């Protein structure tokens, strides 16, 4: 988020919103959310304001479901 905010101020080529969401989906949701509010970037867009925390909740729920699953996985 910080890099995109800097590019926005300079009028340079921006990081596409889909890319920001893709990074959040593959595990960067907590960092994206913290960066979003720390840099005050994309906080006016409802789909970022509610979407990033929603991704965190879904990821935590999936981790907990895997951890407490009756089926034991070798990587847990």
pLDDT value at 72 more than 80: no
pLDDT value at 75 more than 70: no
Q: Give the mean pLDDT of 3-11.
A: 88
Question: Is 42 in contact with 34 (CB distance < 8 Å)?
Answer: no
Residue with tokens 């479901």: 65
Q: What is the pLDDT of residues 21-61, one digit of tens each?
A: 999 999 999 999 998 989 988 989 999 999 999 999 999 99
* Encoded tokens for 16: 């596409």
Please tell me the distance from the alpha carbon of residue 71 to that of residue 19, in angstroms, as a whole number.
33
Reported pTM: 0.78
């Amino acid at each position: 988020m910080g890099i995109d905010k800097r590019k926005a101020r300079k009028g340079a080529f921006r990081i596409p919103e889909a890319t920001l969401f893709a990074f959040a989906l593959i595990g960067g949701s907590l960092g994206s959310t913290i960066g979003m509010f720390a840099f005050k970037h994309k906080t006016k867009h409802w789909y970022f304001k509610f979407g990033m925390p929603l991704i965190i909740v879904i990821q935590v729920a999936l981790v907990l479901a895997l951890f407490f699953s009756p089926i034991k996985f070798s990587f847990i």
